[in-house]
Structure 1
Amino acid sequence: MLEALIFVVFPFCMVFSAVSDTLSMTIANRVPLLLLGVFLVVAPLTGMAWADIGLHLAAGALLLTVTFALFAFGGMGGGDAKLIAATGVWMGLGMPLMEYLLTSTILGGVLTLSILAFRSSLLSRVVSQNMFLKNFSEDAGGVPYGIALGLGGLVTYPASPLAVWAVERLASQ
């Protein structure tokens, strides 16, 4: 049961965030809250040491501080900032977090350049009323960075401490 929570909740939240940001340019507050809440329930049940749980929470707090500063200066959306912080809690301080941040940054750069190229194309004008593409077409709109954050989370999640624990547990049965 614990393994199911680990294998379902995080990936679901990443996919939901990407789709939600694509359609509405928002990431609901319930997504990072769900990620944080499930982590707080699951981590002690996996036998994770309290000091390690504290380091995971510190990763989230650090990321929240940095990303909200970026939000305050208009560098990113508030939903993106909260999602990065909640994802950081699952990744912890270490290589999984670095991989997540690097992967999301690269994917975000590709996404941003692709959207800018799309917005300057004729195709953008043709599909501007399509519910899936309208946020990509609007020149005044931002970039739905939740797509990059969600994909980055999915790509790097298998190396996260909880995913590694769940795989090892299932392999030993």
Structure 2
Amino acid sequence: MISTSAAWFAFLLFAGAMTYAGIRDVATMTISNRVVVFLVIAFAILAPAAGLNLATVMSSVVVASAVLACTFVLFAAGWIGGGDAKLLPVAVLWLGADLALPFILYTSVIGAALTVGLLQLRRVPLPLALKKNAWAKRLLDRETGIPYGAAMAPAALLLLPESHWCSVLL
């Protein structure tokens, strides 16, 4: 019983945290360290409570660590933001080693569409109604980066039903 309840709680918690991170990234162009740390701690507590075996947990940790190393190289090169460099491996930790590559692929495709869309929107004058909104001005500023948390969130939500959290539920 505890494993099913913990798996449901983990499923909903991860979905909510990723949604929050994506929306917050669009609004502020930042991904909070608190969200990242919270997800790491929650995984450490909920994975054993949900009945995930040690091999599943360890493979997730190893792959997430490799992704973290890669994202910090990308961050050091100035290609991605620090929040993105931390959220991507944490999402991989939660989704599991088997879904790491699909998650990165989905994030890339959604991120590419987001990037093209924002670049197109940034080419046109900002409507008067949006000029009053600080978040819209920041998002549509040509000098601002792309909020990749907004690509990671839907990618994670699309793959979450295939994750080990749902295998516990079935």
TM-score (norm 2): 0.90
Aligned residues of 2:11 and 2:160 also touching (Cα < 8 A): no
Deviations for 1:106-158, whole angstroms, at most 9, x for unmatched residues?
00000001000000012x35424324422321111101111001111111111
Counterpart among 6, 18, 25 of residue 22 in structure 2:
18
Q: Within the alignment, does 1:111 sit opposite 2:106 as a pair?
A: no
Contact 1:55 1:93 in 2 (8 A): yes
Aligned residues: 165
Alignment partner of 1:133: what SS? helix
Aligned to 1:82: 86
Larger mean CA deviation between 145-154 and 156-165 belongs to 156-165
| 2:37 matched residue in structure 1 | 33
The residue number in structure 2 matching 1:145 is 148
Alignment of 1:102 with 2:89, yes or no, is no
Q: Contact 1:68 / 1:81 at 8 angstroms: preserved in 2?
A: yes
Which one of the candidate residues 155, 165, 168 is aligned to 1:165? 168
Do structure 1's residue 51 and structure 2's residue 55 form an aligned pair?
yes
Any stretches of 5+ residues in structure 2 without a counterpart? Answer: none
Q: Does 1:130 align with 2:128?
A: no
Task: State which of 35, 42, 46 in structure 1 corresponds to 2:46.
Answer: 42
Q: 2:55 corresponds to which letter in structure 1?
A: A
- Matched to 1:72, the amino acid is A
Please state if 1:62 is matched with 2:69. Answer: no
Q: Which is further off, 26-35 or 40-49?
A: 40-49
Distance 2:31 2:76 in 1: 17
What is the CA–CA distance in structure 2 between the aligned matches of 1:110 and 1:23, rounded to whole Å? 18
* Partner SS state of residue 74, structure 1: coil
Partner of 2:144: helix, strand, or coil? coil
The percent identity for this pair of structures is 29
1:9 aligns with 2:52: no
> Cα gap change, 1:43/1:93 in structure 2, threshold over 3 Å: closer, same or farther?
same
CA RMSD of aligned residues (A): 1.4
Q: Is the 8 A contact 1:39 1:90 kept in 2?
A: yes
CA contact (8 A) 1:29 1:79 kept: yes
Distance 1:140 1:22 in 2: 15
With CA pairs under 8 Å and 6+ residues apart, which has the higher RCO, 1 or 2? 2
Deviation at 1:84, TM superposition (A): 0.3
**Greater shift in the superposed pair: 129-138 or 142-151:** 129-138
